[in-house]
Amino acid sequence: MSETVSYTPEEVAKILKISRFTVYEMIKRGDLSAYRIGRKVRVEAPDLEIYIKNSKGHSPAAQTASNAVSEVPFTAPDGLILCGQDVILDILTRHLEKQMPHIRFLRNYSGSIDGLLALYRGTANAVTTHLWDSDSNTYNLPYVRRILPGHRTQIINLAYRIEGFYVVKGNPKEINSWEDLTRSDVQFVNREPGSGARVLLDEKLRILGIDHQTISGYKHEEMSHLAVASSVARGVADVGLGIEKAALQVQDIDFVPLQKERYDLVIRKEDANKPHFQALLSILKSNSFHNEISGMGGYDLTETGKIIAET
């Protein structure tokens, strides 16, 4: 009997030019046939061909594929989906995989508001946030209450970080304040809507009465702190906003500190006693995790693993 070619979800994602998380969602909904070998998922070539044929022109699944960039992965009863962009989460995931190799841990690199919305919709079960509320001069809790109304959650500290400006080495244009962003000789590079840095900027502009249209480059958006810092280093912009850690990773830029922020993890309270969430909390409090993060620089771990609030 001839052997039928089969693909992993990652290989299917490359063929369809969508995210692997969207592939898992298609399999979960039954749009794409798949089977398991142990904990591995496989899609046979004929089933993929059938899906592609059925999707052409009219299938709802075709719309899913075309909008894949904005998709958020589905939750699974035997796994954990962690939303956020900081390198801390890469290290946390690695520790989790080592401690619980039988559990599936997935990452989604979404911003703070998108992460909270995913938690609200049930398409993620652990999300990070660093959203400053100007009315209360606090981080995260006001947004959790607004975006997840009526849902019981735990807010757990991951770290404290410093937000500030990335500027060219030596800061030749002397960019030191929010007001400096409006100068005609200053080109800014922004973060995408929903990110913590974007919320901080927009809140500061509102308080100071600054129209964002007066900032050259306000609509130039990048999707990460590193991308913003790189834009400044390459001379694409004079200044960008992000965390200190990225400034330590990119050559030829300086960092102008502006504000200390609290970077938190938000989970549903009903999940807190599940084994993989208990493992997550244990790792956050462990010496091995703290030592690894401390050696990187750019983080204050004074309250890491502490439950900051419950809603």
- State the Cα–Cα distance between residues 254 and 19, nearest whole angstrom: 35
DSSP code of residue 300? B
Q: Where in the chain is the domain with CATH 3.40.190.10?
A: 79-159+263-310, 162-260
Task: Write down the CATH number for the domain with range 6-69.
Answer: 1.10.1660.10
pLDDT tens profile 110-146 = 899 999 999 999 889 999 999 999 999 999 999 999 9
Check pLDDT > 70 for residue 282.
yes
Check pLDDT > 50 for residue 286.
yes
For CA atoms 79, 81, 85, 86, the dihedral sign is: negative
- State the Cα–Cα distance between residues 164 and 254, nearest whole angstrom: 10
Percent of the chain exceeding pLDDT 70 equals 89
Question: Whose structure tokens read 């909008």?
Answer: 67
Using an 8 Å Cβ cutoff, are 78 and 103 in contact? yes
Cα dihedral 245→246→252→254 (10° resolution): -50
- State the Cα–Cα distance between residues 238 and 167, nearest whole angstrom: 6
Using an 8 Å Cβ cutoff, are 16 and 65 in contact? yes
Check pLDDT > 60 for residue 2.
no
Joined tokens for residue 112? 């703070």
Q: Where in the chain is the domain with CATH 1.10.1660.10?
A: 6-69
pLDDT tens profile 245-258 = 999 999 999 999 99
What's the pTM value of the predicted model, to 2 decimals? 0.75
Average pLDDT, stretch 20-37? 77
Count the alpha carbons within 13 Å of 152 in the hemisphere toward its beta carbon.
4
Average pLDDT, stretch 253-273? 96
CATH superfamily of 79-159+263-310: Periplasmic binding protein-like II (3.40.190.10)
Residues making up the chain, counted from first to last: 311
Joined tokens for residue 25? 């969602």
Average pLDDT, stretch 10-27? 77
Cα dihedral 35→32→20→98 (10° resolution): -20
Mean pLDDT of the chain: 88
Q: How confident is the model at residue 38 (pLDDT cuts 50, 70, 90)?
A: low
Average pLDDT, stretch 55-70? 43
Residue 53 identity (one-letter amino acid): K
Count the alpha carbons within 13 Å of 100 in the hemisphere toward its beta carbon.
18
Cα dihedral 202→206→207→211 (10° resolution): 110
* Contacts of 51 by beta carbon, 8 Å cutoff, 6+ apart: 26, 31, 32, 33, 61
Q: What is the pLDDT of residue 59?
A: 42
pLDDT tens profile 73-110 = 444 455 788 999 899 999 999 999 999 888 888 888 88
Check pLDDT > 50 for residue 62.
no
Joined tokens for residue 121? 């919709």
Question: What stretches of the chain show up as alpha helix (H) in DSSP?
Answer: 9-16, 20-29, 45-55, 60-66, 87-99, 112-121, 141-147, 196-208, 225-233, 244-249, 275-284, 287-294
Closest CA to 81 of 126, 143, 147: 126
Q: How confident is the model at residue 3 (pLDDT cuts 50, 70, 90)?
A: low
Using an 8 Å Cβ cutoff, are 80 and 108 in contact? no
Check pLDDT > 80 for residue 64.
no
Task: Write down the CATH number for the domain with range 162-260.
Answer: 3.40.190.10
* Contacts of 296 by beta carbon, 8 Å cutoff, 6+ apart: 87, 245
User: Which backbone phi and psi does 191 adopt, to 5 degrees?
Assistant: -100, 165
pLDDT tens profile 213-233 = 999 999 999 999 999 999 999
Check pLDDT > 50 for residue 9.
yes
**Count of other CB atoms within 10 angstroms of residue 37:** 8
Using an 8 Å Cβ cutoff, are 140 and 265 in contact? no
Check pLDDT > 60 for residue 68.
no
